[in-house]
Amino acid sequence: MVVGDFAIDLDTVVVGAGPGGYVAAIHAAELGQKVTVIEREYIGGVCLNVGCIPSKALIEAAHHYQHAMDSQEMGLQVTAAKLDFDKTIEWKNNVVARLTGGVASLFKKHKIDVIWGNAYLKDSHSLRVISDDDKAQTYTFNNLIIATGSHPIEIPNFKFEGRVLDSTGALNLTEVPKELVVVGGGYIGSELASAYANLGSHVTILEGGDMILANYEKDLVKVVEHHFSEQGVDIYTNAIAKNAEQTDKDVTVTFEVDGEEKKITADYVIVSVGRRPNTSNMGLEQAGVSVDERGLIPVDAQSRSNIPNIYAIGDVTKGYALAHKASYEGKVAAEAISGKPTVIDYHAMPAVCYTDTSIATTGLTLAEAKEKGFDAKKAQFPFAANGRAISMGETDGFIRLVFEKETGVLLGAQMVGSNASDLISELTLAIECGSTVEDVALTIHPHPSLSEAVMDTADVAIGFPTNI
């Protein structure tokens, strides 16, 4: 690319190559647009490089290690199970490389250009990109999709350095800590706590609220808390993290619970108390793009900001900070630019927490359904009554369906247990299609399978609980 003060004309520009940006770019190219992606760090964004994918790879490795160490009930006496953490990290990195390489190949296939650097808007139709070597180039564009994602929140007295880590640092450790403190019991903190507990760390979670995983219902979280207890994880709720003091060998965390000050010395502390949108210092005000008090960009039903040719998707907009939400919105934005009558419809948005006993939800909870005016009911079925779960030794948890009392139309689903992340998709589709609990009950499910528990829950809903 020629560097200079003149402007280079572009068609559709996507700022950010994470799961929102790269999906938006590819779909826009599929629709015939000439697409350019501006990325400052790496293809795949936080999710593929230092978030969703490497964390799930580490969680899976930890799960396998724990099973190898604790399968005596099945008659498996493993006496030589040994963790080679260097090899685990190598495997995790290979998973990342395979996926990010795949995205790069798709960019090449769809003739998507990539410009490396930071983008700064000059007005609603032009921006400037500054590269790492401080070279700058101005570009004009017809349409822009902002997909810059978010970054971890840093709290006072816990600066991200040394043995105080954000989630990225936690996934790049070269050793398994003997003692680990996690500040923040949301889904990221809880997932990392679960993974390292399985790898052999003694983990302490400090949560500022009255429960971990506050976005989920209490009875779902109770199952995860029970599993944490079995893993030896200590959980302090209503805990205020005050400061961290480091040496070259450890870090001491001071926190307060019920007015009493306590200290814990650990190898590392992970701070995971939320994320902020990456919308500052990119010239949004110069382009006239509105931003709310939280730094989020308000958008319409087609992901369009208040400036007609500028769109925003993913973590920079309102709603769950989920990779699949960003990807979905990216497709909508790409189609809107192509003039298609597409709109965002969050009728059923699945969410998953990948703790060792995982939680998955979609649609409405019973309380939410009633708040919206539905005469709603719930039906529940335990994995302890499912043949496949029993044969796997994974009987903790349950599936719950929320449905309209008179019509039986499915409104929502919640579950906690093995493979919840995979089982939730069937129910998301059922909600999107307007299916009833009878439709689910009459759908033949393979035996024996965990998915049978979905059918059994629907049987409970229609009043014929055959297997319980």
Q: Cα separation of 155 and 172, whole Å?
A: 21
The length of the chain, given as a count of residues: 468
Does residue 259 come out as left (phi exceeding 0), alpha (psi in the -120 to 50 range) or beta?
A: left
Known catalytic residues?
447
Question: 4 pLDDT exceeds 60?
Answer: no
Report the pLDDT value the prediction gives residue 68, as an integer from 0 to 100.
83
Report the pLDDT value the prediction gives residue 278, as an integer from 0 to 100.
97
Q: What percent of the chain has pLDDT over 70?
A: 99
* β-sheet bridge partners, residue 14: 37, 145
pLDDT tens, 353-384? 999 999 999 999 999 999 999 999 999 999 99
Annotated binding residue at 189?
yes
SS3 label, residue 258: coil
Annotated binding residue at 70?
no
pLDDT tens, 64-112? 888 888 777 778 777 767 899 999 999 999 999 999 999 999 999 999 9
- Kindly state the DSSP code that residue 240 receives in the 8-state scheme: E
Q: Cα separation of 382 and 50, whole Å?
A: 35
Annotated binding residue at 188?
yes
Q: What confidence tier does 3 reach under pLDDT thresholds 50, 70, 90?
A: very low
Q: Are 59 and 354 in contact (CB under 8 A)?
A: yes
Q: Are 147 and 18 in contact (CB under 8 A)?
A: yes
Q: What is the pTM of this model?
A: 0.94
pLDDT tens, 166-215? 999 999 999 999 999 999 999 999 999 999 999 999 999 999 999 999 99
Stretch 443-454: mean pLDDT, rounded? 97
Q: Cα separation of 215 and 327, whole Å?
A: 22
Q: Which domains does the chain have, with CATH numbers?
A: 7-152+276-337 (3.50.50.60), 164-273 (3.50.50.60), 357-461 (3.30.390.30)
Stretch 19-35: mean pLDDT, rounded? 98
Place of tokens 């005469």: 375
Report the pLDDT value the prediction gives residue 437, as an integer from 0 to 100.
98
SS3 label, residue 23: helix
Annotated binding residue at 186?
yes
Annotated binding residue at 187?
yes
Report the pLDDT value the prediction gives residue 11, as an integer from 0 to 100.
98
Stretch 23-40: mean pLDDT, rounded? 98
Which regions of 76-188 does DSSP assign to beta strands (E)? 113-116, 118-123, 126-130, 136-146, 150-152, 164-165, 179-183
Report the pLDDT value the prediction gives residue 259, as an integer from 0 to 100.
93
Stretch 317-323: mean pLDDT, rounded? 94
Which regions of 80-163 does DSSP assign to beta strands (E)? 113-116, 118-123, 126-130, 136-146, 150-152
